[in-house]
Amino acid sequence: MKKRLAVSLMLCLLLTSCVSTEIIDEVPVVFIAGFDKGSEGKIKGTISLQRFKPNQEVETRTFQAEAHTSKGLRNKLSGVPKPITIGKMAVMLFGEEEAEKGVLRVLDSFLRDPASGRLMYIGVVEGSAGDLITEEFEYLQGIGPFLQILIRQSIEYGNMPQNNLHLFDYKYYGKGMDPYMPLLKKNEDEIIVSGLALFKGEKMVGELDLEEMFMFTLINKNHKAGLFEVALSDGNFATLHKVKSHVDYTIDNGNTSPEVSIKVDIKANIAQYTGDKLDDKIKKMIAKEFEEKIQKDSLKLIKKFQDLQIDPLALGDRARSQTRQFNFSNWEDQYTGLDIKIKPTVGILESGIID
């Protein structure tokens, strides 16, 4: 009996090698992939591979191919050693044209594949994503990790709203909200964040510039943003930093004629002031002018969203959470004509170590 058991246990150990192995030193690892509109409705995919060499060097190579599905691209990438692993993929980029056509045909395979992560950043490139990836920038760590750090830092310390593959998917499927992605651009010999790409469903329909993106980030969620320059009416400038916003949305009569009011409570420090002396009066003035600016700009921003018939602020979802038996079709009929009030309050906390 014991012998038989031992044999069968041995059998188990032998049988475990029945699936294919993937050894990290041998498989090519994709860090970044770009997707553009190809010919005849195909997708043009560009990937940048990193191979870890025995002498601790990292070799980066890029490949391009066209196919109808993003999984089909894998077959077409004939020059690439297989199998390609996407588990480490950190950034996915879309060319502007492909984003306008719809990103879901590419995203579907990444959402379906258990090997792919969902903390991956996705973004839109002004122009072609493929050109951006194949371009030889002088980034030491390679373009994939560089972009990952660029986007992560823009979110953590800058003025970009939180975003990744999961959150895009969340907003794509969620009712009463629309997704967005960072917009990137090649600027001579470097890559910069140029704003925010707005989506309606899976299609890109508009964009925000950096200043609009800052406003959006402030009123969208509680956020700690980076720097912002306020132009004052007396010709001076003040730069605010560590701008912290606390937002509170109240939506009444969600099912009949909705009234939206947004309270934005902002705390900021003054980092720079071009005038002579920064006394309490001036501080109050800066706060007041910043309030007026938020008031004016964010209403303009919301008007823009209403004209595009999109809802990146998730007003519909916030209305749902505050209304019993919420009626989405009524909301959607009324959305473009909604009356929205914004009440910003700005408090200046510190002004550095001098007055």
Smallest gap from Cβ 325 to other proteins, in A, equals: 6
Q: How far is the CB of 171 from other proteins (least distance, A)?
A: 7
What number of residues does the chain have? 355
Q: How far is the CB of 314 from other proteins (least distance, A)?
A: 8
Instruction: State which amino acid sits at residue 225.
Output: A
State which residue, 16 or 233, has the beta carbon closest to other proteins. 16
Residue 187 CB, shortest distance to other proteins, in Å, is 30
Which chain residues interact with other proteins by CB under 8 A?
A: 5, 8-9, 12, 15-16, 18-20, 87-88, 114-115, 117-119, 162, 164, 166-167, 169-175, 177, 317-318, 321-325
Q: Is 217 helix (H, G, I), strand (E, B) or coil?
A: helix
* Of residues 115 and 349, the one with the C-beta less far from other proteins: 115
Question: Minimum Å distance from CB 83 to other proteins?
Answer: 12
Helices (H) then strands (E): counts for the chain: 11, 13
Give me the helix-helix angle, 210-220 and 280-308, nearest 10°: 100
The Cα–Cα gap between 193 and 223 comes to: 19
Closest separation between CB of residue 215 and other proteins, Å?
21
* Distance between CA atoms of residues 275 and 304, nearest Å: 34
Choice between 16 and 78, CB closer to other proteins? 16
Contact 31, 91 (CB under 8 A): yes
Query: Judged by CB, which is closer to other proteins: 65, or 313?
Result: 313
Q: DSSP assignment, residue 41?
A: G
**Closer residue to other proteins (CB): 15 or 354:** 15
How far apart (Å, rounded) are the C-alpha atoms in residues 266 and 25?
A: 50
Least spacing, CB of residue 113 vs other proteins, in Å = 10
What tokens does 282 get?
């001036």
Q: Are 226 and 213 in contact (CB under 8 A)?
A: no
Q: What angle do CA 271, 274, 278 make, to 5 degrees?
A: 70
Among residues 68 and 118, whose Cβ is nearest to other proteins? 118
Give the shortest CB-313-to-other proteins separation in angstroms. Answer: 13
Question: Which C-beta is closer to other proteins: that of 187 or that of 222?
Answer: 222
Residue 306, token pair as written in the block: 């209403």
> In whole angstroms, how close is the CB of 262 to other proteins at the nearest point?
14
Residue with smaller CB distance to other proteins, 176 or 195: 176
- Cα–Cα nearest to 305, from 207, 217, 210, 211: 207
Q: How far apart are CA 33 and CA 64, in angstroms?
A: 10
Q: Which amino acid would we find at residue 185?
A: K
Q: Which is nearer to other proteins, 232 or 247 (CB)?
A: 247
Buried b (16+ CB within 10 A) or exposed e, 168-185: bbebbebebbbbbbbbbe
- Closest Cα to residue 210, out of 227, 189, 186, 187? 227
